[in-house]
Amino acid sequence: MKFSNLHKRELRRMPVEINLTNLVDITLNLLLAFMLMVGAAQSPSLEVSLPEADNGKAIKNTDALVVVITSDQNILVNNKAISQAELESMLKEFKAKNKGRVFLQADKLASHGNVVQILDLIKKNGIGEVAIATSSKAKN
């Protein structure tokens, strides 16, 4: 390969420059994405004080929809507060896509009437398997 104005000697002396602008941009974007994901993963989850039971059994929640009722009567699915109407549409979608069960995690201070309303809504949408989450009693 022959260059018209440059000799081999001059080619060897040419400074090599690497443009780092694109590399820095990509690195900063990756750092930003990483910081956002770590912040979301470490956000504190909502604590629900479950009622205690002596004879509960552990079950796996594979293919399950977890519905949480807090002590202040909020309904949460995937740590997102929703209304009963939104829950009903989620239950319809869940029933159409899955054969799984619904886990109901109701705070022990949640009103009995609210828990029964949610259970009724679950049954009304054709989901037959409902597991109510409890904590085991501490043995003295």
| Cα distance between residue 105 and residue 100, in whole Å | 16
List Cβ neighbours of 119 (8 Å cut-off, separation of 6 or more).
Answer: 104, 130
| Cα distance between residue 50 and residue 44, in whole Å | 18
Parts of the chain belonging to CATH 3.30.420.270: 52-136
CB 110 within 8 A of CB 69: yes
What was the pLDDT predicted at 3? 55
The per-residue pLDDT for range 108-134, each reduced to its tens digit, is 888 889 989 999 998 888 887 888 887
Does the predicted model carry a pTM greater than 0.75?
A: no
The per-residue pLDDT for range 5-22, each reduced to its tens digit, is 656 666 666 677 778 888
What was the pLDDT predicted at 62? 64
CB 133 within 8 A of CB 50: yes
pLDDT over 60 at 139, yes or no = no
| Mean pLDDT on 45-66 | 68
Domain 52-136: give its CATH code. Answer: 3.30.420.270
Task: Kindly indicate the confidence band of residue 140, based on its pLDDT and cuts at 50, 70 and 90.
Answer: very low
Tell which wins on pLDDT, 136 or 81. Answer: 81
List Cβ neighbours of 65 (8 Å cut-off, separation of 6 or more).
Answer: 77, 90, 91, 94, 98, 100, 101, 102, 103
What was the pLDDT predicted at 43? 42
What was the pLDDT predicted at 14? 67
